[in-house]
Amino acid sequence: MEKSRKWCFWRKPKIKATPPMPIILLLLLSIFETGISSTADQFKVDGKVLELDESNFDLAISSLNYILVVFYSPWCRHCKLLSPQLDEAAPVLAGLKEPIVIAKVNADKFTRLASKHDVDAYPTLKLFMHGVSMEYYGPRKADSLVQYLKKFVSTDVSILISDSAISDFVEEAGTFFPIFIGFDLNETVLSNLAVKYKKRAWFSVAKGFSDEAKVLYDMEKVPALVAIHPNYKQQSIFYGPFEGEFLEDFIKQNFLPPVVPLNHETLKLLKDDKRKIVLTITADENEDQTQNLIKLLKAAASTNRDLVFGYFGLKQWEDFADKFEANEKTKLPKIIVWDGDEDYFSVIGIESLNNEDQGSQISQFLEGYRQGRTEKKTVKAPLFMGFFNSVVGIVAFFIIFIVVAMMILMVVLLIIISKDNEPVRVGSREEVDRADNSEAESSQHGPGKKED
């Protein structure tokens, strides 16, 4: 019995108390939830435009999946005009399935924040998606701004199961981005590329469509991938092969319409395209003759996808035409191949198009170009993609000018200061004596002394 009691006494300390770890975890979880709650309260998605500054900017970008930030200045007229449009668009964007928040930063007041995000003009708009920023070049009217931004929170590939679903999708997509519709294509064929190029285009696949849809989109057969450019009323069709680089090349080549009307905006789009540009300069891009020529250029573009085809009128853009030595005395239409920078090529014997059989002349021009029967020329005052024609370019030029001027001024000031602080040179006794003598002479005959 005594032995038994000893055994029980020895076992008793082995009974361990419940460790405090779960309590610690609960406390940590409570603190974490409180932090999330305070962040959510600070950046509540309530349809109002947020005001950000240096203290909360990074937190807002990391907390909100989609946020459009407007860097503005209180004195900027365009900023004042934009403000009511943002107020109107904010509640609509906040109500989306995947909400988009609009925020503002006073770039005049928070200069370091503006400088960090390369703000050199007002207003500057940047869209942050999961913390990653991109420049916003879209429309600024409330309804158009909403339609444009919907693209970035849309489904990667939409499934369309009827003719009406197709027409509704095209209408809702608007005119800002190209639209790709895969008729009788499997969703998986487009899914990877749709994710990769989500910022550039709409993607969908169509099932259960009628023969009328085939006629409407001018398809000879299916499966087919149709690229639609609503803003330019142009489209292209791809019949395969729907794999690898063939499919991706077609998509990349059709971010632009088959024939691009050149202006300041489309030049920005061409900057990202590495293909050379078959450039046609007409007298007036609105004339009937130009419209007929555009149809011929579209036909040429469909069989020469490694080139971009573009046009503009001398009447609409005289300064730009002059860079390619085209003016009122030039025989138009003039046709060249431009590298998008400072060089262009004319085909020997075919520098302009006659009014008769222009389709054959375009074919001969392309054949001559590919065979190397060309003359290389340089654009007048070479400006990369019209850089200095843009407001950003002018602002950047003045910033560089001011910075260089300030650097020169600083160097001059440093030289003056260093001379003022130059130590007294210790010389020989003879040198000191000569200095004293010269001082005495100057004091006797200095400019302030007059003899009586």
Residues classed as catalytic = 76, 79
Ranges of H-type helices in 151-287 = 163-173, 187-196, 211-216, 244-253, 264-270
Give every CB contact of residue 405 below 8 A, 6+ residues apart in sequence: none
Q: How buried is 439 (Cβ within 10 angstroms: 0-12 exposed, 13-18 middle, 19+ buried)?
A: exposed
The residue type of 91 is P
Helix count and strand count (H, E) for the chain? 16, 16
Bridge partners of 228, per DSSP, are: 179, 235
Handedness of CA 330, 276, 255, 61 (dihedral sign): negative
Backbone angles phi, psi at 166, to 5 degrees: -65, -50
Longest dimension (CA), the chain: 138
Phi, psi of 276 (to 5 degrees): -75, 160
Please tell me the distance from the alpha carbon of residue 436 to that of residue 109, in angstroms, as a whole number.
59
Structure tokens at 427: 């010389």
142-150 and 77-94 helices, crossing angle to 10°? 50
Tokens 């209180």 sit at which residue? 74
- What Rg, from alpha-carbon coordinates, does the chain have? 35
- DSSP for 3-19? HHHHHHHHHGGGSPPPP
Residue 148 CA to residue 167 CA, distance in Å, equals 18
Report the distance separating Cα 311 and Cα 261, nearest Å. 5
Q: Is the dihedral of CA 39, 42, 47, 53 positive or negative?
A: negative
Contact 252, 283 (CB under 8 A): no
Pairing of strands 124-129, 66-72: antiparallel
